[in-house]
């Protein structure tokens, strides 16, 4: 691949994203406009931003790397995200859109009537989203290095452009650039897939997955499939899009369509990872399996376009995460600094600080997929049960919610220190359900005693 072609294409696209984001950032009025795009997002842009949020570095680069080792069963990893979107489309997204809130954590204040629980949920959400953001930045750095670009100044310039338009325009800028980026990477990935499918004879030797292939990854299936699926229900950046939809019906349709397109797009990296393994392609240490396979089976121009498409996918997920974290911090905590200064300027400043901090932390982690799965598991273990129940129960039990979070966090930590034969992810969720049940029983017992005492006093 010609590095000059790649760099020129990359920064030309970055300039286009900046122009689109700058145009969308005009006439912002208040926090609702900045974080929820005025709650007026229509079907097609909402579908594309759902797609762009889910198809990131972990799904593209991580899935190709895992497919190189394990083959076609790695389809279960992006399948978790696709099924999560379909779950939103089947009714969960409609229920989320029905809440008059700005963050998922605010549901704890509405349903469980507790500001403290809202802050706890927000902190857990911020930690998980921040770890996922770090994973996206790691993916971009590893990717650029694998392409032969190990230049810190170029890396910083690349992310500086992203930070500028994300901080300026909030969710409006994010959705506008998501639309362009998702259209670009989907077109390039599928065109590249079609090109190799019809021009490369090595494709004919690819085998369909056998039962023993799934046995080799049985220990990873729960993390690959279950965690991304359940995380979709409680994820702030996805919830933010549900709250921003023009209507609950539009949210459901957009999520359903995005789930289908996500699965179609994610076949591409798994295909190339499996193909690389099948033809015995040697990938240099620290290299990208996806790009090595594409460079081997296509030409320099296609390779450069796919490189830009991978980075577009990473950026689109990262900008969503940055805005979601900023939303949690600005909306769920009454920060004195926001009361004393220009709110919009301070919110934009918080967005910049989050982005810079994530770049700093990215240098201390390495495995993208494992970091993503741990991020999903932390939030799912602690927050899935009380949030899921809140979708179907208008008035919740404070004690049940806090015990559910406590038991889930204990499970998350305990099953890492003392591994068990049973999948630790499911065990943590079951513990969280147990905590919720204990809280309900305690309140039921206390209510019964109070009723008996009242009857005794009446007699």
| Cβ atoms of residues 195 and 47 within 8 Å | no
Token representation of residue 377: 């598991």
What's the DSSP call for residue 89? I
Token representation of residue 393: 């129960």
| Cβ atoms of residues 182 and 48 within 8 Å | yes
pLDDT in tens, 344-379: 777 778 888 888 888 887 777 665 556 666 777 888
Report the half-sphere exposure of 359 (CA within 13 A, side-chain side): 18
How would residue 120 be classed by pLDDT, with cut points 50, 70 and 90? very high
Report the half-sphere exposure of 189 (CA within 13 A, side-chain side): 30
Give the pLDDT score at 63: 82
How would residue 218 be classed by pLDDT, with cut points 50, 70 and 90? low
Residue 1 has pLDDT above 50, yes or no: yes
SS3 392: coil
67-81, 121-135, 160-174, 423-437: which has the minimum mean pLDDT? 67-81
Nearest residue to 166 via CA among 341, 348, 359: 348
Q: Cα–Cα distance between 125 and 29 in angstroms, integer?
A: 26
Strand partners, 245: 41
∠ CA 187-325-352, rounded to 5°: 85
| Cβ atoms of residues 365 and 66 within 8 Å | no
3-state percent helix, strand, coil for the chain, nearest multiple of 5: 85, 0, 15
Give the pLDDT score at 409: 92
For 179-208, give one letter per residue: b (16+ CB within 10 A) or e.
Answer: bbbbebbbebbeebbeebeeeeeeeeeeee
Average pLDDT over residues 444-459: 69
| Cβ atoms of residues 220 and 71 within 8 Å | no
Report the half-sphere exposure of 4 (CA within 13 A, side-chain side): 0
How would residue 188 be classed by pLDDT, with cut points 50, 70 and 90? very high
Q: How buried is 269 (Cβ within 10 angstroms: 0-12 exposed, 13-18 middle, 19+ buried)?
A: buried
Give the pLDDT score at 29: 76
pLDDT in tens, 276-311: 888 888 877 767 888 888 888 888 888 889 889 999
Residue 211 has pLDDT above 50, yes or no: no
Give the pLDDT score at 169: 82
Q: Where are the beta strands (DSSP E) in 254-293?
A: none
pLDDT in tens, 227-260: 778 888 888 888 889 888 888 899 999 999 999 9
Give me the sign of the Cα torsion angle 50, 236, 432, 93. negative
Nearest residue to 378 via CA among 179, 202, 120: 120
């Amino acid at each position: 691949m010609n590095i000059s072609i790649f760099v020129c294409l990359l920064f030309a696209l970055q300039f286009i994203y900046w122009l689109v984001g700058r145009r969308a950032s005009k006439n912002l009025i208040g926090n609702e406009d900045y974080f929820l795009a005025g709650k007026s997002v229509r079907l097609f842009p909402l579908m594309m931003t759902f797609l762009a949020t889910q198809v990131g570095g972990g799904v593209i680069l991580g899935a190709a790397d895992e497919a190189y080792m394990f083959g076609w069963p790695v389809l279960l990893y992006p399948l978790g995200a696709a099924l999560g979107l379909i779950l939103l489309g089947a009714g969960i997204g409609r229920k989320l859109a029905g809440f008059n809130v700005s963050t998922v954590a605010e549901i704890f204040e509405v349903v469980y009537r507790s500001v403290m629980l809202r802050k706890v949920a927000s902190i857990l959400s911020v930690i998980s989203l921040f770890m996922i953001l770090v994973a996206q930045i790691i993916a971009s750095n590893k990717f650029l290095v694998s392409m032969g670009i190990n230049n810190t100044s170029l890396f910083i310039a690349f992310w500086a452009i992203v930070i500028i338009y994300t901080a300026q325009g909030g969710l409006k800028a994010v959705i506008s650039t998501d639309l362009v980026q998702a259209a670009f990477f989907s077109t390039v990935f599928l065109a590249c897939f079609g090109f190799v499918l019809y021009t490369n004879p090595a494709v004919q030797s690819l085998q369909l997955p056998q039962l023993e292939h799934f046995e080799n990854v049985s220990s990873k299936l729960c993390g690959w499939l279950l965690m991304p699926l359940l995380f979709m229900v409680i994820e702030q950046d996805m919830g933010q899009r549900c709250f921003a939809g023009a209507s609950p019906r539009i949210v459901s349709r957009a999520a359903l369509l995005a789930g289908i397109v996500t699965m179609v797009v994610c076949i591409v990296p798994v295909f190339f990872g499996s193909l690389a393994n099948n033809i015995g392609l040697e990938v240099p240490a620290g290299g990208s399996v996806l790009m090595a396979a594409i460079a081997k089976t296509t030409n320099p121009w296609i390779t450069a376009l796919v490189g830009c498409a991978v980075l577009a996918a990473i950026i689109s997920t990262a900008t969503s995460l940055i805005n979601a974290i900023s939303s949690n911090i600005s909306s769920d905590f009454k920060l004195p600094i926001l009361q004393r200064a220009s709110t919009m300027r301070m919110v934009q400043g918080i967005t910049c600080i989050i982005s810079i901090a994530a770049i700093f932390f990215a240098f201390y982690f390495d495995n993208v997929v494992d970091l993503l799965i741990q991020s999903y598991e932390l939030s799912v273990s602690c927050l899935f049960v009380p949030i899921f129940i809140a979708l179907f129960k208008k008035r919740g039990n404070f004690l049940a919610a806090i015990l559910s979070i406590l038991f889930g966090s204990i499970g998350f930590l305990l099953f890492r220190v003392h591994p068990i034969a049973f999948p630790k992810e499911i065990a943590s969720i079951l513990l969280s359900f147990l905590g919720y049940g204990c809280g309900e029983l305690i309140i039921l017992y206390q209510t019964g005693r109070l009723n008996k005492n009242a009857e005794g006093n009446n007699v």
